[in-house]
Copies of this chain bind each other. A is one copy, B any other.
Amino acid sequence: MEEIIGTLAGIFTTIAAVPQILKAWKTKKVDDVSPKMFLVLTIGVSLWTVYGFMKQDSPIIITNGISTLLNITMLVLILNYRKKKF
């Protein structure tokens, strides 16, 4: 039971950025999105990935590795589509 809850939790938190990426990609508008949120998230999940490597823990490495890539993708979209500078 704990394993099911943990796996579901991991899937949800890992894929959460996908709808935001698709929305930004389709609308090409990111004015209301906080670049700082995605910068802080990217730093956070990168550190979790490093932590996973230190602990040699595959689930931590895989979920946070995917999150890092997704959050970097969103940061790139923000940099491309934003009207004003940070």
Contacts and interface: CB of A to CB of B under 8 A. Distances in A.
A34 interface: yes
A50 interface: yes
Determine which residue in A18, A23, A51 has the highest number of CB atoms from chain B within 10 A of its CB, and name it.
A51
B1 A54 contact: yes
Interface residues of A, number: 41
A20 B5 CA distance: 27
A2 to B, nearest CB: 5
A40 interface: yes
Nearest to A9: B47
Interface in A39-58: 40-41, 43-45, 47-48, 50-51, 54-55
